Amino acid sequence: MLNSIVIRHELSIRDIPDLLNYIRKRVVEPRLHALEELQLTTNNEKGVLKFSLRKPWDLTVEVKVDRCSVEITCSPRSTMAKYYIDQLLNSIVESVKDFNGVRGKGTLYLLFTKDMKFKKFKIASLKERIVSKLFSGTLTYLVISFMIIAILVLIFGGYAPIILILLHLTLLFFSDNLLLKISEWRLTSRSKNVHIVEIKTDKHYYPIMLSKILSKIGDVKRDIYNNTLKVGKELNEEVILNVLKTYGVAVESLDVRVRQINVYDIVSEVSKGYKISPPKVGIINTVIPNAAAVGVHPGKSSILVTSGLLAVLSEEEIKGVIAHELSHVKNMDPLVLSSIVITEYILRVYVVYPRFASIFESIPILALFYVVFVLLSILMLAKCIEARADLDASITIGSPKPLASALKKLGWKRLILEMRNRGLAWFRIDPHPPLYFRVERLSRLGNGMLKVKHTFISSVKECIVEMVKALTI
């Protein structure tokens, strides 16, 4: 049973106690007749609301709030209490959403690297957008694109399989370089850190601030860079505010925070844990929090991390996500999955369709059922591979908590949706298992996870058992 979620938000320090009191009024006070204990504490940039309810709820709820997230944990004290967890989680989530709608903050993120080059802003070309979809999204794009290409190249008759395989393998072989092509910065041993500037303001002034600087954002970043990193100085609030002031921004309404993340060393450390060569590291500037690793083998691979991921996760959570991605590199998952897809295509063209041609012609819908069955089978295999990557990551970094925390923080909206229909969540056109399963599984892992010898076999068993369970409940 999923009993914990993390919600991303943007708040000022002074809003933290107000949010906790708002949750108390909306969630706790209507249940005063069942209240056993209530604690509300705030300390610096954090606050905690903890309360216990007697039967029929019979559980304890803890809400931890900081400037960037709300973590909600429900601890049932009896079997019956589990039925009330979803109800309470939804009530608290709705309270947070309502509060943010009135008092929320807007945040602008600016990223810098030591040797960054400033390019003139341009709309991404069609080629860049296609490459981005293929290699910075999920393996689903590769699988679906392969099937589409398979249909198109049928016009080449008997040469279709050869053309298809060569095209697919060519894309796969050069995927590490193609991934770096869409990145905006390449991290190296000389330039390891990503510097993140968070500029927060209230939601009413946020659009005004954007109207003043968004069209000149390249110039704003260049001015900040030229006065700090370029001349060997660290980014600091004074320089940032002075630059923003020259562009007409009312700096007295801003809350500026600067931090840096050594992404290069995180990748190197995790690679060492996997006993593989570190992949090439690229950063792409997009608000979508994501990371992707590609390559035919560990010696020819790349990992792409988005600025959105770096902005919202802690270093430990980033390490967990990178460890997950590097599991794919170590196990050569892109090559394995591609080989399976290619093999299925050859069998379909030369064995299945010729042998059962008369049946498919007389009952055309069977051909459609076959294709759907193959797609779902490949997706199920991909889900098991992704589950294995979660387990590998936890073992490699020594703890499942960072990845579990990252998943809850990035996917809290999906978690709420999956609570309503767990069975349907297994049939999403997505190579990842349902998020609730990944989070619950990681949360259950303890020291015993270090004794798992065959992470893939274990993951296959757990995926099948949970899917059957979700469909029968």
Which amino acids are annotated catalytic?
325
Q: Which residues contact 360 (CB under 8 A, 6 or more apart)?
A: 353, 366, 367, 370
Determine the distance from the C-alpha atom of residue 153 to the mean position of all C-alpha atoms in its chain, rounded to a whole number. Answer: 34
Alpha-carbon distance of 438 to 326, in angstroms, equals 17
Question: Tell me, what amino acid is at 49?
Answer: L
Run of H or E residues at 36: strand 35-43
Distances (CA, A) of 48 to 18, 100, 175, 388: 12, 17, 46, 34
Distance from C-alpha of 174 to C-alpha of 178, rounded to nearest angstrom: 6
Q: Give the Cα separation of 400 and 442 in Å (integer).
A: 5
CA distance 229 to 225: 5
Q: Which helix (H) or strand (E) holds 147?
A: helix 139-152
Backbone CA torsion sign across 321, 326, 329, 333: negative
Q: Distance (Å, rounded) from C-alpha 327 to C-alpha 35?
A: 46
In three-state secondary structure terms, 108 is: strand
Cβ burial, residue 222 (10 Å; 0-12/13-18/19+)? middle
**β-pair partners for 282:** 186, 304
Beta bridge partners of 199: 108, 256
E strands of 136-245, at which residues?
185-187, 193-202
For every residue of 230-290, DSSP letters joined together read GGT----HHHHHHHHHHTT--GGG-EEEEEEEEHHHHHHHHHHHHTSPPPEEEEE--SS--
Using alpha carbons, select from 5, 15, 16, 8 the residue that is nearest to residue 47.
16
